[in-house]
């Protein structure tokens, strides 16, 4: 199985990089895992609605450029469906069983995802209504992907 996370922006915090590196190493036993960063669009603090949409479209085009047609794509979105760890594990296992061995998760920029990206995805995932920094969300998502594999392997890690 190939799992990829496409994210907008660069990761700067050393402690987050270390955490992600640890889970990436652990995931290597179960899948090919990678994180692909696309540039965030520079924008002033105060944007009009039209300017916000334009920023999302530029970032969205960069995201879509990193996704192939065969990939099953999840978008992280606050209005997406919340899942338990067990439900996500079950979904990933079923996808692998039924021919979707290339799975991609998208974490958008600070303004969210463009309509074009949202039309491309098969499913939207929410980690709740909290607002979390995008950089921290990378670590949380990476850990949840690892947890999914551990649940499916029957490991006591999940307890």
Asked whether residue 9 is marked as a ligand-binding residue, the answer is: no
**1: its two tokens:** 């199985």
Count of CB atoms within 10 A of residue 42's CB?
A: 6
Q: Is 155 exposed, middle or buried (0-12, 13-18, 19+ CB in 10 A)?
A: exposed
E strand spans, 15-157? 32-38, 72-82, 102-107, 123-126
CA distance 157 to 136: 21
To the question of whether residue 76 is assigned a binding role by annotation, the answer is: yes
Residue stretches of the annotated binding site for S-adenosyl-L-methionine: 76, 108
Q: Which residues are annotated as a binding site?
A: 76, 108
């Amino acid at each position: 199985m190939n799992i990829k996370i496409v994210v907008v922006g660069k990761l700067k915090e050393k402690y987050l990089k270390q955490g992600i590196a640890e889970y990436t190493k652990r995931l290597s036993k179960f899948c090919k895992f990678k994180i692909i960063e696309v540039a965030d669009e520079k924008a002033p603090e105060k944007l009009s609605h039209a300017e916000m949409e334009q920023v999302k479209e530029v970032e969205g085009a960069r995201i879509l450029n990193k996704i192939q047609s065969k990939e099953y794509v999840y978008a992280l979105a606050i209005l997406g469906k919340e899942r338990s760890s067990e439900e996500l594990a079950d979904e990933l296992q079923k996808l692998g069983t039924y021919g979707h061995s290339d799975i991609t998760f998208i974490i958008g920029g600070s303004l969210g995802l463009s309509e074009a990206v949202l039309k491309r995805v098969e499913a939207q995932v929410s980690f709740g209504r909290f607002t979390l920094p995008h950089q921290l969300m990378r670590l949380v998502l990476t850990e949840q992907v690892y947890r999914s594999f551990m649940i499916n392997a029957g490991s006591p890690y999940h307890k």
